[in-house]
Structure 1
Amino acid sequence: MKENSAYIPIFNELSCCVIIPTYNNQKTLKRVLDGVLEYTENLLVINDGSTDKTSSILANYPQIHTIHFKENRGKGNALKKGFQEAGKLGFKYVITLDSDGQHYPKDLPKFIEELQQPHEKPLLIIGARQMDSPGVPQGNSFGNVFSSWWVYIETGYNLKDTQCGFRLYPLEIVNKIKLFTPKFEFEIEIMVKSAWRGVELKNIPIDVLYDPQERVTHFRPVIDITRITLLNIWFVFVSFFFVKPARKLKEIRQKGGKRFWREDILKIQERPFQKAKAVALGIFIGISPFWGLQSLIVFFAAEYFKLNKVLAFFASNVSIPPMIPFLLYFSYQFGAIILGNEPDASLNIENIESAFDILMGVKQYLIGSFALAAVSAIVLGALFFLIFSLFSKKNPTDA
């Protein structure tokens, strides 16, 4: 207890408090409150319309700042109210954790110690759970991987855990953000919008406990996952058509058009291998049977793999209309070789006797198309690597 109490003045110096939203977690609430109070008395609890003994438990803690909702309004609304109240009380940072017992208050010092380190940007810290630990529901692990992928596409931050509710927020920034979502998707909304405003997202490892005897979860897999997915789809749209273009316009103004074109579009300074990978990616997607979607797919893929979008896009145009008949023909022949069929110079309609024959022909084409795409990507990628390497020797700025 004495060792933990050493953090009480540190919380005060950093103007940091802890916020706990709670809804019908009477079995674990007291243990969580007692654990937090060992480290700080700067504690706000939002009772989100609980119908169990939550109010009675909180009545035994007069030193805790409590807010009671008459009806359940959702975790997002509870956190928003807590952030607003913490701002009125003069706090600059808030740490949030859940009241269902899955988070250990003993991990609070990890957030404080990370906050004390020098950082160029404001920091939003998300606890990273060990999702392969015993007792962690498999659905949680899959959902977390899926969510992390979305967040990477939207913000560029490659996080191991994006769904954990054990977090530290820079209050002065998040209280200025317009937030709309009322429930579990709120934690995705506030994280993505914070990143768009220049906040650094960072994971730190924490312990987690999923005790089926005590833990009460209010997460509704179908409804809440649907809400989160729809939110992410909207964020991807906003990110690619508004946030990122706005950033690029700002960079153009700062660097000047000519320098921006060379460094950010053509990426003259890139190494030959990186350029060759962009060409290989474009060739693969251009030849693959993604008709009508090649440009969209190559753009997202280049963004995901951090490759030169211009090179990848131009390479994907290998499937321009004059080339389509040749791609179809060679794809079909590649498929015949792979499947052990007799290559035909052309598709003979007279040989088609049933819908099954059509399906087999389509199967042969699809297999051959992906095979041709892979072989062409490797061969042309290697060829362009040699070309870029030769130019790199002539122009040292490419190295």
Structure 2
Amino acid sequence: MLNQPITQKINDLNVCVIIPTYNNQHTLKRVVDGVLGFTNNIIIINDGSSDTTAQILENYPEIQQIHFPENKGKGFALRRGFEHAISLGYEFALTIDSDGQHFPNDIPSFINDLEVHPTKELLIIGARNMKQEGVPGKSSFGNKFSNFWFWFETGIKLTDTQSGFRLYPLNVLKNLKFYTTKFEFEIEVIVKSAWKDVDVKNIPIQVLYDETERVSHFRPFQDFTRISILNFWLVFLTLIYYKPRQLFRNIKKKGFKRFFIEDFLGSSDSPKKKALSVALGVFIGFSPLWGLHTVLAIALSIFLKLNKTITFAFSNVSLPPFIPFIIYASLELGQIIFQEPISYSVTDLMDNFEVFKHLKTYIVGSFALAILGAILFGVVAYFFFSIIKKKKGVLQHD
């Protein structure tokens, strides 16, 4: 019998439930029957199962079913399920694994959270209690690993990024491009959704790990390698695209003056932390690592827990109009260090690439300039931010 209040909400919100399954003959029926207690809006993706899955599903002719002749991978199954749900006009898809670890009784928690969300641009991940008895150690470690990279890539802290019990906004997903087809898809989809300003959050759910019934198809070496490759690519995109885009969006939204006051000067960071952020940005900007300045500025500011906005801003001391002066100063310092005078003109540097004939002198001089610039700018910034903080304190006191 259907849970009428939740069933009505599911219909009103235009939600379907997608169940991908592969060789879970011992638990599939229990999961399907549990979901049927809340809704008939179900799409089952049989991902090339070789057990009795097809025979079990023959008993549910009223349910939408897609059968693959061979195993394609969980990501591929989910993507096909999303496409089918969109074609049927659904706006949200709730996914639940068929291995028995999830409890369909948690469906109302997802629906109630969706109902009260103001914009409905929401992606919910059911958070398992990874400390409870019976949770495999490799699952707990893998989840912590995934949580860290998701935070690095999006700035959002979650307690569980690997749970397959989720609610997706299909109107967002239909405009995204995906490239993965295995378990790593569940990482790709939440990162790209977060980049589209979707509210990604956890809600607590129950979990059952019954080794006598549960069949896991996760292959530690192959799938962990795939996930690592995906995260490497997502981190790269984060550093060269997502983080800079966030910064420029913030500036555009607030206006430069407000941004400068609130995010640059009005930060709660101490003058010391801000000054170190300036020093790091200048060091990177003057360094000879051309093409990597933005990536290094954001990555190192995150790693060193400095102010990312300030570091990124000052790494741009190497904007194109300043490049000839930076190269010139680097070569001059290099000559002083090596005590080897060289002859060149500005035309030689810019047109004839004379700098490459004196690469050692340039690189050493460049790092020397980076160190001196970092110290100088850092000291000046420290006194500047200290004065601003004192003035701000006086104004607040008055």
CA–CA separation in structure 1 for the residues paired with 2:135 and 2:277: 37
Q: CA deviation at 1:40?
A: 0.6
Q: CA deviation at 1:277?
A: 4.0
CA contact (8 A) 1:281 1:298 kept: no
Q: CA deviation at 1:297?
A: 6.8
Indicate how the Cα distance of structure 1 residues 228 and 9 shifts in structure 2: closer, same or farther if over 3 A, else same.
same
Indicate how the Cα distance of structure 1 residues 387 and 140 shifts in structure 2: closer, same or farther if over 3 A, else same.
farther
How big is each residue's C-alpha offset from its partner over 1:19-54, in whole Å with a ceiling of 9 and x where there is no partner? 000000001000000100001111110000000000
Q: CA deviation at 1:58?
A: 0.2
Structure 2 unaligned residues grouped into runs of 5+: 316-329, 331-381
**Worse-superposed segment, 233-242 or 247-256:** 247-256
Match of 2:354 in 1: none
CA contact (8 A) 2:278 2:310 kept: no
Question: Which residue type is aligned with residue 190 of structure 1?
Answer: V
Which runs of structure 2 are paired with 1:353-364 in the superposition (5 Å)?
Answer: none
How big is each residue's C-alpha offset from its partner over 1:343-363, in whole Å with a ceiling of 9 and x where there is no partner? xxxxxxxxxxxxxxxxxxxxx
How big is each residue's C-alpha offset from its partner over 1:259-281, in whole Å with a ceiling of 9 and x where there is no partner? 434433xx21123x544445568
Indicate how the Cα distance of structure 1 residues 125 and 49 shifts in structure 2: closer, same or farther if over 3 A, else same.
same
CA–CA separation in structure 2 for the residues paired with 1:25 and 1:269: 55
Indicate how the Cα distance of structure 1 residues 312 and 279 shifts in structure 2: closer, same or farther if over 3 A, else same.
farther
CA contact (8 A) 1:125 1:203 kept: yes
**SS in structure 2 opposite 1:144?**
helix
Match of 1:204 in 2: 203
Question: Which residue type is aligned with residue 39 of structure 1?
Answer: F
Question: Which residue type is aligned with residue 267 of structure 2?
Answer: E
Q: How many equivalent pairs are there? A: 333
CA–CA separation in structure 2 for the residues paired with 1:243 and 1:110: 31
CA–CA separation in structure 2 for the residues paired with 1:44 and 1:277: 53
Match of 1:269 in 2: 266
CA–CA separation in structure 2 for the residues paired with 1:255 and 1:282: 22
Match of 1:156 in 2: 155
Structure 1 unaligned residues grouped into runs of 5+: 316-320, 322-381
**SS in structure 2 opposite 1:169?**
strand
Question: Which residue type is aligned with residue 137 of structure 2?
Answer: Q
Q: CA deviation at 1:174?
A: 0.5
Match of 1:184 in 2: 183
CA–CA separation in structure 2 for the residues paired with 1:303 and 1:86: 39
Question: Which residue type is aligned with residue 88 of structure 2?
Answer: L
Match of 1:25 in 2: 24
Question: Which residue type is aligned with residue 31 of structure 1?
Answer: R
Match of 1:392 in 2: 392
Aligned-residue identity in percent: 48
Question: Which residue type is aligned with residue 100 of structure 2?
Answer: G
CA–CA separation in structure 2 for the residues paired with 1:182 and 1:312: 35
CA–CA separation in structure 2 for the residues paired with 1:134 and 1:120: 37
Asked if residue 256 in structure 1 is aligned to residue 267 in structure 2, the reply is no
**Worse-superposed segment, 295-304 or 67-76:** 295-304
Indicate how the Cα distance of structure 1 residues 155 and 240 shifts in structure 2: closer, same or farther if over 3 A, else same.
same
**SS in structure 1 opposite 2:265?**
coil
CA contact (8 A) 2:24 2:215 kept: yes
Asked if residue 128 in structure 1 is aligned to residue 137 in structure 2, the reply is no
Match of 2:43 in 1: 44
- Normalised by the length of structure 1, the TM-score is 0.74
**SS in structure 2 opposite 1:66?**
strand
CA–CA separation in structure 1 for the residues paired with 2:35 and 2:120: 27
How big is each residue's C-alpha offset from its partner over 1:168-189, in whole Å with a ceiling of 9 and x where there is no partner? 0001110221111010000111
CA–CA separation in structure 1 for the residues paired with 2:75 and 2:314: 44
**Worse-superposed segment, 147-156 or 245-254:** 245-254
Match of 2:335 in 1: none
CA contact (8 A) 1:121 1:198 kept: no
CA contact (8 A) 2:274 2:306 kept: no
